[in-house]
Amino acid sequence: MIRQYLKFRKTITIVCVLSLLFLIFLILTKNQNSNSSELIRHHKRLDDDFQDIGYRELDDIPKKEIYVLGEKELKMELSNTIEDSTKRELREVKAKVEQLEKKIAFLEGRIPQKYPEVQYLGYKERKRILVTGGAGFVGSHLVDVLMIQGHEVIVVDNFFTGRKRNIEHWFGHRNFELIHHDIVNPLFVEADEIYHLASPASPPHYMQNPVKTIKTNTLGTINMLGLARRVGAKILIASTSEVYGDPMVHPQPESYWGHVNPIGPRACYDEGKRVSETLAYSYAKQEKVSVRVARIFNTYGPRMHVSDGRVVSNFIMQALQNLTITVYGNGKQTRSFCYVSDLVDGLLALMASSYSLPVNIGNPVEHTIEEFAVIIKNLVPGCRSTVATGAAVEDDPQRRRPDITLAKNQLHWSPKVSLQDGLQRTIDYFKEELSRTTFYNNQTYIDFKVKTSH
């Protein structure tokens, strides 16, 4: 009985499913027929409209002209499409070219440049020389000469005012080494000679952090003198004409003790250098360290910082941009300007000599600041700048001129580059700086003409 019931139930279910499928088929067929008939009616209506309107309007136009008009419209559409496509492709190509130019510039910046020619020295003549502040203005020029002479050079710099670009042309050379280090902290290296040039030298830079300036010239000098004592190296301390302050003796000989304001805005540098000289001779007396002290007067030349606030850079930058050349004070203050290659020659001569007392290194040719502004204006072609006076700077020395008698007698040194020639080379450098738009220009500014003329 149960078996018959289940069999009957199964039969009923199959019949229902088949009926449902048949019903769905009928519905779909009806919809398709209605859609087809509607589509046919729509096409017929469009044909009627076209015959009633289109043909009547075109009855008077020959078939050949219809084809010509259609062909012209087609050509115009194709022309517009091609033009738009061409413009789009040109824009895309231009963007790709710009990207390629940037990539090429980046790759060119990474290609090692050919090193300047370096003399070969045997192991007996070749020295291992440490230059603190070697990436700075004066230090980098000194490094160039030492490298060209064939010595092994170690540059130590914290890049406060120094720049890698000043020495990048030596990167990778077997005789060159760069250490990123602040000499306020001890340094342990081997060296035969030490040129201690590390210190900000322009007023805006050393006034920016006066405590740091004092530390560099005291703790930094102690560290370098201690290094010289440990390894038995000869050390040259780069002092400054600022130790004379606003001098009451003119010109300034090495025997003059100076006239310095110990609490003025320039004292961090002036007194820091005076202490560094005291430290040098204390180590010489107590520890038997071989010391040399160079009192450097105003120096100029390529690789000066464009915004260091000193007279040469300020006047040249203002003249090149046709800005007002600003003279602080009455313009009657005097300065003596020494070209950087002459200064480097003086430092090398002092290090090689047996004279151990302070020596003035500078150019004795004296000019007023007002005269100097006019000289620079005349050297810049097409300069339309005017010279104006501004407020005087506190503790600004009124007269500055070195007595270089000692340098002549003891070192057989005197400056050779004229102010006109030196300023022209410096102006050319600042023009290059103003026109610089890329980072890969490896202009080294090693003045071989100046070096060979000495």
Cα separation, 310 vs 315, in Å, equals 8
Phi, psi values for residue 268, rounded to 5° = -60, -35
- Which residues in 374-453 belong to E strands, given as ranges? 387-390
Extract the tokens encoding 97: 């070219």
What is residue 366's three-state secondary structure? Answer: strand
Q: Which residues pair with 132 in a beta bridge?
A: 156, 196
What is residue 187's three-state secondary structure? Answer: coil
Extract the tokens encoding 125: 């003549």
Extract the tokens encoding 16: 């229902």
Q: Which residues pair with 156 in a beta bridge?
A: 132, 179
Give the sign of the dihedral formed by CA 31, CA 32, CA 38, CA 42: positive
CB within 8 Å of 398: residues ≥ 6 apart = 246, 332, 333, 334
- What's the start-to-end Cα distance of the chain, in Å? 132
Cα separation, 368 vs 331, in Å, equals 7
DSSP string, 144-181: HHHHHHT-EEEEEE--SS--GGGTGGGTT-TTEEEEE-
**Amino acid, res. 403:** D
Extract the tokens encoding 379: 């050297």
Cα separation, 203 vs 200, in Å, equals 8
According to DSSP H, which parts of 380-418 are helical?
405-406
Give the sign of the dihedral formed by CA 333, CA 338, CA 339, CA 344: negative
Pairing of strands 359-361, 291-296: parallel
Residue of 392, 271, 275 whose CA lies nearest to 326: 392
Given the residues 195, 244, 269, 339, the one annotated as active site: 269
Q: Let me know how many helices (H) and strands (E) the chain has, helices first.
A: 13, 13
Known catalytic membership, residue 355:
no
Cα separation, 383 vs 36, in Å, equals 88
Report yes or no: 190 and 128 within 8 Å, Cβ to Cβ. Answer: yes
Q: Which residues are catalytic?
A: 269
